[in-house]
Copies of this chain bind each other. A is one copy, B any other.
Amino acid sequence: MVHEATSRRPIRLAIIGVGKIARDQHLPAIAADPRFELVAAVSRNAVVDGVPNYHDIAALLAERDDLDAVSICTPPVGRASIAMAAIDAGLDVMMEKPPAATLSEVARIEEHAVAAGRTLFATWHSREAAGVAPARGWLADRKVEHVSIAWREDIRRWHPGQDWILEAGGFGVFDPGINALSIATRILPGAWTVENAVLRVPEGRMSPLAADLGMRCGNIPATAVFDFLQEGPQTWDIVVETDGGRLTLRMGGSILDIDGSVTEAPDAEYAGLYARFAELVAGRRSDVDITPLRLVADAFLVGRRETLPPFAW
């Protein structure tokens, strides 16, 4: 049995990768959760005030033996070696989405965590949006007839100058689009498959600025339209037609509209992620659902490519 005193000691956490998402979301969520204590940060070129900072995970692990866990917020390419090193050091690991650049890397990290008996949590922050859990509950009692996803945002507004996102491995419009897939596969946890895809890639770039997917959830048809060139109003909607009415998740899942009856709740996505990580650590369990990343990989595998005019910021 775990002693009360032990079970109540906070999880001593280092954050790895101190970019926009770490500052905007992770650091406030960690500060607000008494189950966690931020004890270090790792970044090549940024500093978190109030804790010791390290240049890379090797320096962190060489100097600190008081850590319980790391939260990895670096870009997906290169994520695997960081996660492997943390697991080797006996730490539990939480990872921003997508968990790695490839499915084979995720499998390798997961096998390593299982072998070492560590908790691994591959997060999908959009699944914690306020409307997602009630949507899942409502849909469980109904016969779904059709799903349509429209994820249209302006790359220049949300990722200004970030050329990496249009490089090979940068996911392009699937960087936001995978959030839609993470919600869709949570509210309808059936067997999702990709049947066809069109990937529209600007001349001279590697990853798509727009994509259309034809999918199925079991036998239910599902479509997704992803567009990274949306000016004016931004759209992050999932519409589910059922025999009991139409359910719409708007604004990335924060607004739930069931036949015109709207509920909205404040954003608490990252609070939800850290609460879940604490539960997983306490239970010595992992949560690694590759489904959204697998759908993206399948879209690249079977997708027809079309060429768009050159893109400039």
B304 touches A104 (CB 8 A): no
Binds B, one of A7-15, A187-195, A228-236: A187-195
Specify which chain B residues have a CB less than 8 angstroms from the CB of A150 in the assembled complex.
Answer: none
Count of A interface residues, CB-CB < 8 Å? 32
Smallest Cβ-Cβ distance to A206: which chain B residue:
B304
Q: With both chains docked as a complex, state the minimum distance between the C-beta of A108 and any C-beta of chain B, in angstroms.
A: 4
Which A positions have Cβ atoms within 8 angstroms of B? 77, 80, 101-105, 107-108, 111-112, 168-169, 191-194, 196-197, 206, 291, 294-298, 300-305
Residues on B with beta carbons closer than 8 Å to the beta carbon of A107: 191, 294
In the bound complex, do residue B169 and residue A102 qualify as a contact, i.e. CB atoms below 8 Å apart? Answer: no
Contact A297 B103 (CB under 8 A): yes
A102 contact from B168, B194, B206, B305, Cβ within 8 A: B194
Query: In the bound complex, what is the Cα–Cα distance between A206 and B302 (angstroms)?
Result: 9
CB distance from A34 to the nearest CB of B (A): 37
Chain B positions within 8 Å of A295 at CB level: 104
Q: B102 touching A302 by the CB < 8 A rule? A: yes
Q: Determine how close the nearest CB of chain B comes to the CB of A66; give it in whole angstroms.
A: 28
Report if A103-B103 is in contact (Cβ < 8 Å); known contacts: A169-B302, A193-B80, A300-B300. Answer: yes
